[in-house]
Amino acid sequence: MYERERKDLVETLKSKGIKNERVLDAFAKVQRHLFVPDIMKQHAYTDVALPIGMGQTISQPYTVAYMTEALDPRPNQKILEIGTGSGYQAAILNAMGVRVFTIERHHDLHKSAVKIFDEMNLKIAARWGDGTLGWQEFAPYDGIIVTAGGPSVPENLRKQIAVGGKMVIPVGDKKIQTLQIISKISDGQFNIKEVPYFAFVPLIGKEGWKEK
């Protein structure tokens, strides 16, 4: 279903500058309409963020593609995602052959993402909790991708990146953030590239924004 729309979405991503073939192949494979509520399905392949309940969103496909391209994960690498949401970003990483670990703070969203992973037979380790603390048990990670915007880079996450690994994280105020692409050169030494003008829902937790 929606094969034509999926191909068109891949063309849109290419026209916006996404080049990594492994990322584009994953977008051609993963059925985004399975990750959005029924009434949104007809918009699933439009390049926009869509509501998924609990005041949260499935990110815009271009943003997912941009962050994934920046992370550049390789097959069998271990990647930690903070903010499972609908589960779509995790499924994109899974389609790239990555070992995915993902954390969501809303129990209902966590449960519905796990249900979709099970129905699709995807081997993704998903946990309910505060992702700003990371997932120490399986650390270090070759990559960490944070899909919500925080006021600063959580120290726990910084520590859980493997040397030679990367983290992609939006940092800023609650409305607008800069995407930080952080490469860990050695323990305590990081290279940071910044890309402005992203807008994510807030990262809420011990090392994020405080809940009202």
- Cβ closer to ligand SAM: 128 or 190? 128
Binding residue count for ligand SAM, defined by CB under 6 A: 26
Residue 204 backbone zone (phi > 0: left; psi -120 to 50: alpha; other: beta): beta
From 15, 59, 86, 152, the catalytic residue:
59
Span from 17-25, 38-46, 102-110, 167-175 in contact with ligand SAM (CB under 6 A): 102-110
Per the CB < 8 A criterion, the answer to whether 169 and 157 are in contact is yes
CB of 75 to ligand SAM, least distance (A): 20
Strand order in the sheet with 141-146: 125-128, 99-104, 78-82, 141-146, 161-172, 177-186, 189-198
Contact status: 56 vs ligand SAM (CB under 6 A): yes
- Return the bridge partners of 130, or none: none
Per the CB < 8 A criterion, the answer to whether 191 and 162 are in contact is no
CB of 186 to ligand SAM, least distance (A): 27
Answer yes or no: 59 catalytic: yes
List the catalytic residues: 59
* Contacts to ligand SAM by CB under 6 A: 56-59, 82-83, 85-86, 88-89, 103-106, 109, 130-132, 147-148, 200-201, 203-205, 208
